[in-house]
Amino acid sequence: MDNSTEHADSGRGGRRTGRGRGAAAAPPASLSPSRAADFMTCPLLYRFRVIDRLPEKPSEAAARGTLVHAVLERLFDAPAAERTAPRARALVPGEWERLLTARPELAGLFREDGAEDGEAVDGGADGAPGGEGDGGSADPARLAGWLAEAERLVERWFTLEDPARLEPAERELFVETTLDSGLRLRGIIDRVDVAPSGEVRIVDYKTGKAPRPEYAAGPLFQMKFYALVLWRLRGTVPRRLQLVYLGSGDVLTYDPAEEDLRATERKLLALWDAIRRATDSGDWRPRRNRLCDWCDHRAVCPEFGGTPPPYPLLPVAVPSGEPGGPRVPGQGRMGGV
């Protein structure tokens, strides 16, 4: 996915409308790559997103990532010979309309009323966004420029991969497994390719630019997470992990070994143990970092003089040695969401 996180928990596009009025807060029950990244970045951010479910603004970058992913997935519905750049570009307007139908609040990203882009709107009792379209009419020039950038990203993909030569085994694959420890892992994989030899390649599209080497560990952790889940579900270590950066035209690959995935599992178990301790104690520490300038929750963050909302969970006793609740060895599933 692109440089805004977004997978199984929140859906593509990175917007949260908040918990519906009257819905009870619940302790976390599973872990996805995006939420694992949240906790490692800032435990308080994880709390705001998973437990408090505070509303967040949509963003043009996140929505563009959602749109581009939809176009790349849809293109594979066409026969191989018809998977061309012009056809892919032609899919952009229709996929944008589909996205708007599913999430009408995204129209507010391009409104002419001068309000701040993507102003967050609390969900109603059913969690639906309030104020369809968020008010105002779309600025045609701004929307056209945004769609043109999405088309450029789609076109760049053809310089990195040839979809006419690819027949994905899976697209937008929802995966979920419960480790022997009881920890439930879940996520959505952009594409799974299977060679005639049976070797598996996991592919993830990013609409941002490739990170500098010192920042590559985060995206690779996400890919190892997916590889771990597939390994536990299918019993085979994926041969290759591939990140396709459409923003910069780079392709990064990594060939994992079994020990890589065992180390990833150990890291996730330690991470989940820390999440459970914070959940039980209510002690979610903020961690100032380079992403704070883009955080929607600065007003309620102690690092910026704010006060978090009252903690909505009572302490819960968790038996020692049970980091993820009841143990259900070998459980898992794959399929669409």
Same domain, 159 and 171: no
Give 153 or 125, the one with higher predicted confidence.
153
**Residues 187, 249: one domain?**
yes
Q: Give the relative orientation of helices 217-234 and 258-281 as an angle to the nearest 10 degrees.
A: 100
Judge if 276 and 172 occupy the same domain: yes
Claim to verify: residue 149 and residue 200 sit in the same structural domain: no
Asked if residue 38 lies in contact with residue 291, where contact means CB atoms within 8 angstroms, the answer is no
Residue 208 lies in a domain: yes
- Residue 188: give its domain's CATH number: 3.90.320.10
Give me the pLDDT at residue 116, please. Answer: 44
Instruction: Tell me, yes or no, whether 104 and 205 share the same domain.
Output: no
Determine the structural domain holding residue 152 and report its residue range. Answer: 57-108+139-166
pLDDT by residue (tens digit) across 175-206?
999 999 999 999 999 999 999 999 999 999 99
Q: Pull the structure tokens for residue 24.
A: 């009870």
Same domain assignment for residues 203 and 254: yes
Question: In sequence order, which residues have a C-beta less than 8 Å from that of residue 164 and are 6 or more positions away?
Answer: 80, 81, 83, 84
Q: Which residue has the higher pLDDT, 13 or 50?
A: 50
Same domain flag for 178 and 159 = no
Q: What is the number of domains present in the chain? A: 2
Clarify whether residues 156 and 190 are in a common domain.
Answer: no
User: Mean pLDDT across the stretch 298-322?
Assistant: 82
Within this chain, do residues 223 and 269 fall inside the same structural domain, yes or no? yes
Residue 219 included in any domain? yes
Domain closes at, from 230, 252, 280: 280
- 115: which 2 tokens? 């309000």
pLDDT, position 24: 74
Q: Are 246 and 205 in contact (CB under 8 A)?
A: yes
Instruction: Establish if 306 belongs to a structural domain.
Output: no
- Do residues 274 and 171 share a domain? yes
d(CA 101, CA 113) in angstroms, rounded, equals: 21
pTM of the full predicted structure?
A: 0.82
| Inter-CA distances, 214 with 5, 41, 217, 218, 226, Å | 19, 15, 7, 10, 21
Residue 308 CA: distances (Å) to CA of 22, 85, 282, 284 = 19, 48, 11, 10
For residue 39, being part of any structural domain is answered with no
Report yes or no: 264 and 225 within 8 Å, Cβ to Cβ.
yes
Is residue 246 domain-resident?
yes
Average pLDDT over every residue of 317-327: 47
Q: Quick one: pLDDT at residue 315?
A: 61
In sequence order, what are the residues at sequence separation of 6 or more whose Cβ sits closer than 8 angstroms to the Cβ of residue 188?
7, 8, 172, 173, 174, 175, 337
